[in-house]
Amino acid sequence: MGFISDALNRIQPSATIAISNKASAMQAEGKDVIGLAAGEPDFDTPDNIKDAAIAAIKAGKTKYTAVDGIAELKKAVAAKFKRENGLEYKTSQVSIGTGGKQVLFNALMATVNPGDEVIVPAPYWVSYPDIVMLAGGTPVIVQGPADKGFKLQAADLAKAITPKTKWLILNSPSNPSGAAYTRDELKAIAEVLLKHPQVWVLTDDMYEHLVYDTFEFTTIAQVEPRLYDRTLTMNGVSKSYCMTGWRIGYGAGPEVLIKAMAKLQSQSTSNPSSIAQWAAVEALNGPQDFIAANNKVFKERRDLVVSMLNQARGLHCSTPEGAFYVYPSCAGLIGKTAPSGTVIANDEVFVTELLAAEGVAAVHGAAFGTSPFFRISYATATKTLETACERIQRFCASLR
Ligand SMILES: Cc1ncc(COP(=O)(O)O)c(C=O)c1O
């Protein structure tokens, strides 16, 4: 009998965290490495949010709180859903966790039994399949075709649903592709789900505010109110409010689910940091104008990166609607040989050779379930991005 549990042996460490750590370690050794692997805004947390945290410390708000969040934050979350998404939730339908990741983890661990299937559209955020497997469930991967913007097609969803399907996970805008679903696309997915009342929807709206051009964000419970009773709408302050380190995420859905998630949290981490919760209250209730200012910069960076990658030999990069990622194809380079003599057999070899030759850290598409692609996070200073893209161009040109 092994010491490590079978459940843990089923999963892998997060590939994105592993590559970011590798890039940081190379930087610490003095190597000239540009890290484009981490998914976090380079902008600082706004001052009003920091001040709210300092005030919370000074006011002694430093004790345990209710397991799944303080009433003030639950109210702020309910108000956000009403204001921005037209969704009505009571505070008893809201759960606060240590990052969006914990909310997602709680929901899946609280509901998935061995043998249950969870539909995960690919390319997917790295943690979805692993959390499903940790819970003993089976992730059912359904590819979103590249020529359809990597989005799950309703017909493919219909084919993937079985009597064992418990959840569909939707993520819009998507990490890693940046793809975001229009109202009509969500409506088509909802039509399929209406025929299968046993399937719940976990919608990960973490990048809600990061959409560009004229794209209008919408979420599935808003598009199809008949799914409200089986949807967990998940979101958080990490990305939009530049608060990745504060660790506050939230979800809203039916009370039966929210209570089960709180039960699990009560026997694991208990409450998220009291101080971070007060900071999140200010984030949600305070001024929102910095989001548009940040988005202007993100959009310029997206356009720069897409244009420069499309000038690299053998790469093709489409323009996504949101988040701060692009997901270019390296199909044109598979089978070529790097100056090191290594054959670029797949996207993992491509990013490994790119890091070794030019010191640019990106994440291979296989980690997100869709090859041969790779993910670049453009949440990095514009000048640095320009240099990174020049290096990528040089690397691609060096392949024979
Ligand atoms: C799609 C998606 N969902 C959830 C998360 C987790 O967010 P948090 O840092 O709040 O746990 C991330 C973070 O990378 C993400 O990209």
pLDDT in tens, 208-234: 999 999 999 999 999 999 999 999 999
Predicted local distance difference test score (pLDDT) of residue 357? 94
What does the pLDDT look like over 320-370, one tens digit per residue?
Answer: 999 999 999 999 999 999 999 999 999 999 999 999 999 999 999 999 999
Q: What atom of ligand 1 comes closest to residue 207's alpha carbon?
A: 1
Helix (H, G, I), strand (E, B) or coil at 229: helix
Q: What is the mean pLDDT of residues 164-168?
A: 98
Q: How many C-beta atoms surround the C-beta of residue 327 within 10 A?
A: 25
pLDDT per residue over 3-32, tens digit each? 999 999 999 887 778 788 888 888 899 999
Closest CA to 279 of 241, 252, 319: 241
pLDDT in tens, 99-152: 999 999 999 999 999 999 999 999 999 999 999 999 999 999 999 999 999 999
User: How big, in percent rounded to 5, are the helix, strand and coil portions of the chain?
Assistant: 45, 15, 40
Cα 204 to averaged position of ligand 1 atoms, centre (Å) = 8
pTM reported for the whole predicted model: 0.96
Q: Which of 16, 96, 239 to mutate to test the pocket of ligand 1 (most atoms within 8 A of CB)?
A: 239
* pLDDT digit string, tens, across residues 235-244: 999 999 999 9
Question: How many A from CA of 51 to the centre of ligand 1?
Answer: 24
Closest to 123 (Cα-Cα) out of 374, 360, 380, 377: 374
Helix (H) or strand (E) segment spanning residue 252: strand 249-252
Among 106, 125, 150, say which to mutate for ligand 1: greatest number of ligand atoms within 8 Å of CB.
125
Contact between residue 85 and residue 219 where contact means Cβ atoms under 8 Å apart: yes
Q: Please say if the pLDDT value at position 1 is more than 80.
A: no
